[in-house]
Amino acid sequence: MKAKIAEVFESVQGEGLYLGEKQIFVRFFGCNLNCRYCDTKLDAYAEYEPLELFEEIKMYQDKYHSVSFTGGEPLLQSDFLKEVLKFTYRYGHNNYLETNGTLVKELENVIDYIDIVAMDFKLPSSTGLFAFWDIHRQFLKVASRKEVFVKIIVCLNTKEEDLNQSLSIIRDENKAVILVLQPDSFAQAGSLDEKLERFKNICHAQGVTSFVIPQIHKIAGVR
């Protein structure tokens, strides 16, 4: 069994609720979506067997909050991911999954070995794709077996109706979920401030805890 891995490296988490935590990053190659705001264009990879990848992870000997399995979309290679997660889980690492929240059966396959799920809601007005509402609902239900937070990318063309649909799913499936409003990194600085503030007020009015958290690693020039 082999998987396509774009890179393995250590850094600090640059977005979401675990901003600033030191992690080992394992970036999987390939994605099932093509969001118009995507900032991770991968064009190279190496093939690893599960034990081979685990041995490389073990080479990082500092204190880390967790191992971040990111992409691309890690769940596209879920059988391989499961084997690696077993290794890191038994080794004592926290397993942190970054995912676009669209591959429900694949999440079911690995959820027992995941500690934290950082899940995207792909809003159609942001991505330029069709809506994934039912899939996101099912995915959140499975992810809620473990610690989970939801992230949405807010763009200039993001519609309020899409935010409201996201909040409805969160209220129905897991009221404790925290929603991260992440400004589109390609938008001009300050252009989204008014919309982000309005969206945050809508979240508050509907009883969903939210935070506006930009991609700090890009601002700080960190990998």
Q: So what's the pLDDT on residue 190? A: 81
Count of residues in the chain: 223
Question: Quick check: 65 and 22 in contact, CB under 8 A?
Answer: yes
User: Quick one: which H or E segment has residue 153?
Assistant: strand 147-154
In CATH, which of 3.20.20.70, 3.30.1330.200, 3.40.50.20, 3.30.70.100 is domain 3-220? 3.20.20.70
Distance CA 73, CA 27 (A): 8
Q: Tens place of pLDDT for every residue, the chain, 223 residues?
A: 899 999 999 999 999 999 999 999 999 999 998 888 887 778 899 999 999 999 999 999 999 999 999 999 999 999 999 999 999 999 999 999 999 999 999 999 999 999 999 999 999 999 999 999 999 999 999 999 999 999 999 999 999 999 999 999 999 999 999 999 999 988 887 889 999 999 999 999 999 999 999 987 555 555 6
State pTM to two decimals.
0.94
Alpha helices by DSSP H, 27-158: 50-58, 78-91, 104-110, 124-127, 133-143
Give the domain ranges of the chain.
3-220
d(C-alpha 153, C-alpha 151), whole Å: 7
Contact 154, 161 (CB under 8 A): no
Tell me what pLDDT residue 221 has.
56
- Position 218 scores a pLDDT of 55
Q: CA–CA distance from 32 to each of 74, 75, 76, 82, 163 (Å)?
A: 10, 10, 7, 19, 23
Per-residue CA distances from 114 to 69, 135, 143, 147, 207 (Å): 10, 19, 9, 9, 27
